[in-house]
Amino acid sequence: MTKYANAQIDRISASGGAVRVTCSGGLGQGNGGTSLPCKGCYVQPAIANTEVVKMNIDLAAGAALGVDLARPHINDGTDEYGAAAAHPFFVPIDDVSKLYFYSADANAIIDILYLKG
Protein backbone atom coordinates (compact mmCIF):
# COMPACT_ATOMS: atom_id res chain seq x y z
CA MET A 1 0.00 0.00 0.00
CA THR A 2 1.29 3.45 -0.86
CA LYS A 3 0.95 6.67 1.07
CA TYR A 4 -1.61 7.76 -1.56
CA ALA A 5 -3.91 4.76 -1.12
CA ASN A 6 -6.74 6.74 0.49
CA ALA A 7 -6.19 10.01 -1.39
CA GLN A 8 -9.06 11.45 -3.38
CA ILE A 9 -7.92 12.61 -6.79
CA ASP A 10 -9.54 14.36 -9.75
CA ARG A 11 -11.92 16.23 -7.46
CA ILE A 12 -13.10 19.75 -8.07
CA SER A 13 -13.11 22.07 -5.08
CA ALA A 14 -16.58 22.70 -3.69
CA SER A 15 -15.88 26.42 -3.31
CA GLY A 16 -14.32 29.23 -5.25
CA GLY A 17 -15.46 32.02 -7.47
CA ALA A 18 -14.81 34.04 -10.59
CA VAL A 19 -12.81 37.16 -11.31
CA ARG A 20 -12.82 39.18 -14.52
CA VAL A 21 -9.65 41.10 -15.32
CA THR A 22 -9.85 44.04 -17.70
CA CYS A 23 -6.45 45.11 -18.96
CA SER A 24 -5.83 48.81 -18.62
CA GLY A 25 -3.52 49.96 -21.38
CA GLY A 26 -2.85 46.33 -22.28
CA LEU A 27 -1.71 45.28 -18.81
CA GLY A 28 -3.63 43.45 -16.09
CA GLN A 29 -3.19 41.53 -12.85
CA GLY A 30 -5.39 38.87 -11.27
CA ASN A 31 -7.90 40.30 -8.77
CA GLY A 32 -6.52 43.79 -9.37
CA GLY A 33 -3.36 42.92 -7.42
CA THR A 34 -5.27 42.17 -4.20
CA SER A 35 -4.37 38.81 -2.64
CA LEU A 36 -6.98 36.09 -3.23
CA PRO A 37 -5.77 32.67 -1.99
CA CYS A 38 -6.78 29.64 -4.06
CA LYS A 39 -5.83 26.07 -4.99
CA GLY A 40 -5.70 26.78 -8.70
CA CYS A 41 -7.32 28.78 -11.50
CA TYR A 42 -8.88 28.20 -14.89
CA VAL A 43 -7.93 31.13 -17.12
CA GLN A 44 -9.35 32.11 -20.51
CA PRO A 45 -9.49 35.33 -22.52
CA ALA A 46 -13.00 36.60 -23.27
CA ILE A 47 -14.40 35.91 -26.72
CA ALA A 48 -14.54 39.65 -27.54
CA ASN A 49 -10.75 40.11 -27.41
CA THR A 50 -9.15 41.02 -30.71
CA GLU A 51 -5.52 40.22 -29.87
CA VAL A 52 -3.52 37.43 -28.23
CA VAL A 53 -3.32 37.60 -24.44
CA LYS A 54 -0.05 36.65 -22.76
CA MET A 55 0.04 35.40 -19.16
CA ASN A 56 2.94 35.21 -16.73
CA ILE A 57 3.24 34.18 -13.09
CA ASP A 58 4.86 36.42 -10.44
CA LEU A 59 6.30 38.73 -13.10
CA ALA A 60 4.68 41.25 -15.45
CA ALA A 61 3.82 39.77 -18.84
CA GLY A 62 4.86 41.50 -22.03
CA ALA A 63 4.85 41.18 -25.81
CA ALA A 64 7.77 38.73 -25.63
CA LEU A 65 7.26 37.43 -22.08
CA GLY A 66 4.56 34.97 -21.06
CA VAL A 67 2.50 32.13 -22.45
CA ASP A 68 -0.12 32.72 -25.17
CA LEU A 69 -3.62 31.95 -23.96
CA ALA A 70 -5.97 30.28 -26.45
CA ARG A 71 -8.55 32.62 -27.95
CA PRO A 72 -12.11 31.27 -28.12
CA HIS A 73 -12.90 32.94 -31.45
CA ILE A 74 -10.07 31.49 -33.55
CA ASN A 75 -11.36 29.26 -36.40
CA ASP A 76 -14.96 30.29 -35.68
CA GLY A 77 -14.68 28.98 -32.11
CA THR A 78 -15.14 25.27 -32.87
CA ASP A 79 -12.94 22.23 -33.37
CA GLU A 80 -13.36 19.47 -35.95
CA TYR A 81 -16.20 17.95 -33.89
CA GLY A 82 -18.14 21.18 -33.50
CA ALA A 83 -17.13 21.59 -29.84
CA ALA A 84 -15.70 24.80 -28.41
CA ALA A 85 -12.11 25.07 -29.67
CA ALA A 86 -10.55 26.99 -26.82
CA HIS A 87 -10.58 25.45 -23.39
CA PRO A 88 -9.68 27.25 -20.17
CA PHE A 89 -6.04 26.89 -19.17
CA PHE A 90 -5.55 25.43 -15.66
CA VAL A 91 -2.87 27.11 -13.56
CA PRO A 92 -1.97 25.35 -10.27
CA ILE A 93 -1.28 28.48 -8.20
CA ASP A 94 -1.96 29.57 -4.61
CA ASP A 95 -3.03 33.18 -5.20
CA VAL A 96 -4.99 34.75 -8.06
CA SER A 97 -3.04 38.01 -7.72
CA LYS A 98 0.15 36.24 -8.94
CA LEU A 99 -1.24 36.13 -12.49
CA TYR A 100 -0.14 38.91 -14.84
CA PHE A 101 -1.51 39.60 -18.33
CA TYR A 102 -0.50 41.56 -21.42
CA SER A 103 -2.32 42.20 -24.70
CA ALA A 104 -1.89 44.56 -27.64
CA ASP A 105 -5.67 45.02 -27.21
CA ALA A 106 -5.64 47.85 -24.64
CA ASN A 107 -8.96 46.70 -23.12
CA ALA A 108 -8.54 42.91 -23.23
CA ILE A 109 -10.68 40.91 -20.84
CA ILE A 110 -9.62 37.70 -19.10
CA ASP A 111 -11.96 35.44 -17.15
CA ILE A 112 -10.58 33.55 -14.15
CA LEU A 113 -12.39 30.78 -12.30
CA TYR A 114 -10.57 30.05 -9.04
CA LEU A 115 -10.86 27.06 -6.73
CA LYS A 116 -10.57 27.37 -2.97
CA GLY A 117 -9.36 24.68 -0.63
In a domain, 96, yes or no: yes
**Cβ-based neighbours of 7, under 8 Å, separated by 6 or more:** none
In a domain, 55, yes or no: yes
| DSSP, res 95 | B
Q: Is the pTM of this model over 0.85?
A: no
Q: Which pLDDT does position 1 carry in this prediction?
A: 46
Query: Please, what's the largest Cα pairwise distance for the chain?
Result: 54
| DSSP, res 93 | -
What band does 46 get if pLDDT is binned at 50, 70 and 90? confident
Radius of gyration of the chain from Cα atoms? 16
Q: Which pLDDT does position 111 carry in this prediction?
A: 93
Count of domains in the chain? 1
In a domain, 7, yes or no: no
The range of the structural domain enclosing residue 76 comes to 33-116
The residues facing 23 across adjacent strands are: none
Among residues 116, 94, 111, 96, the alpha carbon closest in space to that of 14 is found at 116
In a domain, 2, yes or no: no
What band does 89 get if pLDDT is binned at 50, 70 and 90? confident
Query: Could you give the CA distance from residue 4 to residue 71 in angstroms, rounded to a whole number?
Result: 37
Report the percent of the chain where pLDDT is more than 70. Answer: 74
In a domain, 52, yes or no: yes
In a domain, 83, yes or no: yes
